[in-house]
Structure 1
Amino acid sequence: MTKNKSLLILSILIICITILGLPLDMMPPDAALYASIAKTMHLNNDFINLYSLGTDWLDKPHLPFWLTALSFKIFGVSNFAYKLPGVLVFFLGVWATYKFTKENYNKETAVIAAIILATSLHSVISNFDVRAEPYLTGFIMASLYWFYKYIQQKKISDLLLASLFCAFAVMTKGIFAIIPLVAALGGHFIITKSWKELFNPMWLVALGFITLFIVPELYTLYVQFDAHPEKIVFGETNVSGIKFFLWDSQFGRFFNTGPIKGHGDVFFFIHTILWAFLPWSILFYIASFLKIKRNSKKVNTNEEFYTLFGTLATILVFSLSKFQLAHYTNIVFPFMAVLTADFIVSLKSKYQNLLKTYSITQYILIGISIVAVIALSIVMKPEFNFWILPIFILCIIALYLVVKNQQEKTKRILYFSAISFCFLYGFMLTHFYPTLFKYQGGVHAARYINNHDFKSISMLTNNSHNFGFEFYCNKPINRITIEELSNSKNSVLYANEKDLELLTKKNTSFEILKEFDYYRITKLKGKFINKNSREKTLGKKYLIQLN
């Protein structure tokens, strides 16, 4: 009973951490960009065309925007409504991870895998800074689970569900979302010599289902872009939305031949996982190495290899790509959680010689999490936030139940790790990010406008990122060129420092109504985090009245 209480309190703690992130402001550019696109879709009742800053937008597929716009219809436009669909899909992924692990291992390993996935650093960050990753995490893991169910039971309903969630993943990020699934299934069949499964003609049926399910995406892209070759996209006409979706946005980026280009480092994801998957990253590397080692001479066909191949192949492909962002790793976090959970449970039997390594590693990370809270409190000097107290109390209760229960060493350290990092996350969501969010100039400028009776709001049509301002501003925004300023007298213009320099050069008469401190939160530096040196790092955003 006490064991169940420990798990119950930890589950409540994880849910509370997630809830804390829902009302927090979004971090421009990406999250605010996606939110503003969904807001436009909701306000226009147009679920076909994607617009950003008043122009056609071609980059990501529609599904997250459809779900978000629907959430806006139900709950109104807010931070909460934007984040809720992604968070729910993520916890679908946690559930699917539990179910998959339980059927391939046992209940104990399944519970640990679910805990690891839900308490990984970048899982928590992505659940409050929602982009495509929570959706991908949930859809890909749900798809793998039902593909596995189909392999075991050969029920067409399981194949249908697996294909549906696979299609959802494709309509979230594109064709490359299939990579973890193809690698997981193909790798497992090949290494276990399951040739009958590998060449099962039903995979063609699954491909047909997936193609059928992505028809809505293909249709919307055709209507917005292919049917309008005169539209200027990426500086060109005759741009095919369907071709971009099927090739340029994925293979074009991989080979760096598409309209959006990037620069990659082949070792990027190796060191990114070290922090993104905390506090489980080192254990993941050990678990992967041991699984490969014990099957290097003779493969144990009773083991599952879906998670190993799904993880390694995805990381390899992304490492070779020129497009590399930390949150890309999230999509294989469920696979990584299963591998890590299996290793932790195996410490009691197969790998007792690694118990000391496990203990030292995790206690060091627990210490780092505590030191991080103390150090950040000293350096940042944040205002006290009451909501840290319920998190602290839940952590104390959870620790007390774990100690009282005197669980075996591996389980006890697992809980200590999860609880200590949950407290770190609680601090981040109640003190760290709220302190830094004071410097999101566009967000505060929009709220200033919402509280004042300005008749006309304008914004220059330049390449500046104004997504936060666009999403949080409740009034219509006129997008004007520099040449149209003379026709916009008495309008309130949202501007940055470069805009002001341009206006001055053009001898445009204006009055500064309000200025706002600005820093790009997604690119943190020590000088900005340090309260004593923060002032020197700040830029400015302005609301000006055109005369």
Structure 2
Amino acid sequence: MKHKHWLFFGIVLFLLVNLAGLFIPIVINAAKYAQVGREILDNQDWINMTIGGEPYDQKPPLLFWIAALIFKSFGISVFAYKLGVLLISLIGIYGTFRLGKLLYDEQVGALSAFMWATCLGYAHFHNDIHTDTLLVVPVILSIWQYAAWVKSRKDYHFYLATLLVGLAMLTKGPVAIVIIGSAVGLHLLFTRNFQAIFNYRWLLAIPIVLLMTAPALWGLYNQFGLEGIKFYFWTNNVGRIDGSYAGKNTDPVFYIHTTLYMIAPWAVFSFVGIFMQIREKVRQKFQSTTDTEFYTLGGILVYLLILSTARAKNPHYELPVLPLISIITARWALLIYDLPQFSNLRKILSSIHVVIGILLFALSGVFLLFVFPQADVWIWLVIAAMLGGFIYVLGWESGLDKQIAYLVLAVSALLFSLNIHILPEIEKYQASFGACTIFNQKAGANEKLHIFMPEARYWEVFLYSKNYGQYLVTPDDFKSVNPPANDWVFTGPEGVQELIDMGVPLDTVRILQHNSMTSLSFKFLNPKTRASKLKTRYLLQIRED
């Protein structure tokens, strides 16, 4: 590639755009995970997790421990929390580079790390943090270390990889073993490496992983007994596949169109690369050659097949295999732009990528001109500078570096418009933030803010309030807790009526208009129909009877 300095500029630009997103607040599950970390400090208990004062069993504790350590060091700062996770993820980027280099060469490693760090899935879920965001790191590092062990037979690689499996189990449970196990296991099977398959060290790995997982299991047993252990190993995993615990999505191609978004702007390269990788293996009849590897396809296809059959589906579930997809993507992107037999394919890809770049800039323009058209002049100047860079790069001689440079500029422009202007505007319609601001300004030192809602989806109320109360779902919950006079309540119209029916004396502090930051319909995005999508929320204070 002739313009490597532009690639360095591209990743710096993309990271700066990501840093701008650190100021965007978090909601729903992302807020819940941060709140669990906050309650670790409040309870001074690092084993028994709680949310809203109630025992919590949904996820293992590693992300919550990280949140608690950050909050202990910097105060309750969502910016510091998001920055901390972003910095940890740099280790995963390095692991992607090292695995790509080990399996192929340094150029593949560098480009795969670049593609992982500059895709929309990375940007999205390092601002909307889930356990899968963190899971990427131990998963890719573990696969790298196991691959290094298979190649070098040095024991320390094996044991380091096994410790990383334990960390992955502490992040999201047994799903980590599925990804790592399918990646490493299928590689050993297809390469007929029976010496490694039947190595006695795998028996040693079991107690090591269980020992690493012990803090999570201890906390679950303390709070839920054997049912907590069953939940960790079975219910929370199999129950999401068959729908008995969670999930109703039966879309078999969900992760095909999800991948288009998650790996963008590299999606075309990715789909072509995965197709070429599968075709290569089929033509080789899955025989082992000197440069054969099955780690990437093994980890990707088995995991995505399981996810596709599961009833519980979410885009962030795909995160742990995006670095593996990036390695295949980088490998074939380099081959396509290097080998003469791909000349026609190069022309097709180049044309498609120009269209994608133009569409990304056009989407930025639609957001700034029509969705929230009050953007400051300096925002337009930055977008114009990026567009100028895009046009300049189009004049380069055709090559892979050209594709990469203008796609990074285009996706950076889109994310810049979102992080700097669009999302802050959308944030104004998240009623929970306004409620917390008023509560933090006016509430007394001993007054708490409770949530009285039928659905547990407003965890940011606890995270952003100075003194959180409890999540009360039903009238019986409210009667059981019986919040004292002067406590505050965040609720909706149904909740107000139920409180009135219970005879709770109330003062209405503020009536707020609400649309969730995670529910952006076309009617909401259209200024002319936005009002029709707004719901009413109430900030109430219980008065003396």
2:19 aligns with 19
Q: Distance in 2 between matches of 1:178 and 1:433?
A: 36
1:359 aligns with 350
For residue 23 of structure 2, give the secondary structure of its aligned residue in structure 1.
Answer: coil
CA 478–112 in structure 1, closer or farther in 2 if over 3 Å, else same: closer
Matches within 5 A, 1:316-335: 316-335=305-324
1:474 lines up with 2:466 in the alignment: yes
Deviation at 1:168, TM superposition (A): 1.4
2:298 aligns with 309
Q: Is the 8 A contact 2:7 2:404 kept in 1?
A: no
For residue 324 of structure 1, give the secondary structure of its aligned residue in structure 2.
Answer: coil
Q: Distance in 1 between matches of 2:404 and 2:451?
A: 52
1:279 lines up with 2:265 in the alignment: yes
Q: Distance in 1 between matches of 2:481 and 2:192?
A: 69
1:249 aligns with 236
Q: Distance in 2 between matches of 1:485 and 1:216?
A: 30
Q: Is the 8 A contact 1:13 1:395 kept in 2?
A: no
Deviation at 1:533, TM superposition (A): 1.5
1:529 lines up with 2:525 in the alignment: yes
Which of 371, 379, 385 pairs up with 1:380? 371
For residue 193 of structure 1, give the secondary structure of its aligned residue in structure 2.
Answer: coil
Matches within 5 A, 1:84-233: 84-226=83-225
Q: Distance in 1 between matches of 2:356 and 2:426?
A: 25
Q: Distance in 2 between matches of 1:96 and 1:282?
A: 24
Matched residue type, 1:248: T
Which of 310, 315, 335 pairs up with 1:346? 335
Deviation at 1:385, TM superposition (A): 5.3
1:415 aligns with 405
Matched residue type, 2:99: F
CA 263–8 in structure 1, closer or farther in 2 if over 3 Å, else same: closer
Q: Which range moves more in the overlay, 391-400 or 40-49? A: 391-400
**Alpha-carbon deviations, 1:306-344, whole Å to 9, x = none?**
111211111001111111111111111001101111111
Which of 276, 287, 290 pairs up with 2:276? 290
Q: Distance in 1 between matches of 2:35 and 2:378?
A: 28
Matched residue type, 1:445: A
Structure 2: any 5+ residue segments left out of the alignment? none
Q: Is the 8 A contact 2:506 2:540 kept in 1?
A: yes
Deviation at 1:401, TM superposition (A): 8.5
1:229 aligns with none
Q: Distance in 1 between matches of 2:317 and 2:96?
A: 18
CA 512–485 in structure 1, closer or farther in 2 if over 3 Å, else same: farther
For residue 47 of structure 1, give the secondary structure of its aligned residue in structure 2.
Answer: coil
1:499 aligns with 495
Q: Distance in 1 between matches of 2:507 and 2:164?
A: 53
Q: Is the 8 A contact 1:385 1:430 kept in 2?
A: no
1:231 aligns with none
CA 263–397 in structure 1, closer or farther in 2 if over 3 Å, else same: closer
Deviation at 1:47, TM superposition (A): 0.8
Which of 438, 449, 452 pairs up with 1:448? 438
Deviation at 1:275, TM superposition (A): 2.1
For residue 25 of structure 1, give the secondary structure of its aligned residue in structure 2.
Answer: coil
CA 534–358 in structure 1, closer or farther in 2 if over 3 Å, else same: same
Deviation at 1:16, TM superposition (A): 0.7
For residue 544 of structure 1, give the secondary structure of its aligned residue in structure 2.
Answer: strand
Identity across matched positions, percent: 25
1:8 lines up with 2:4 in the alignment: no
Q: Is the 8 A contact 1:253 1:262 kept in 2?
A: no
TM-score normalised according to structure 1 size: 0.91
Q: Distance in 1 between matches of 2:99 and 2:26?
A: 33
Matched residue type, 2:87: L
- Number of aligned residue pairs: 532
Q: Distance in 2 between matches of 1:185 and 1:487?
A: 54
2:60 aligns with 61
Q: Is the 8 A contact 1:382 1:431 kept in 2?
A: no
Matches within 5 A, 1:66-85: 66-85=65-84
CA 151–398 in structure 1, closer or farther in 2 if over 3 Å, else same: farther
CA 114–395 in structure 1, closer or farther in 2 if over 3 Å, else same: farther
Q: Distance in 1 between matches of 2:304 and 2:382?
A: 34
CA 221–439 in structure 1, closer or farther in 2 if over 3 Å, else same: same
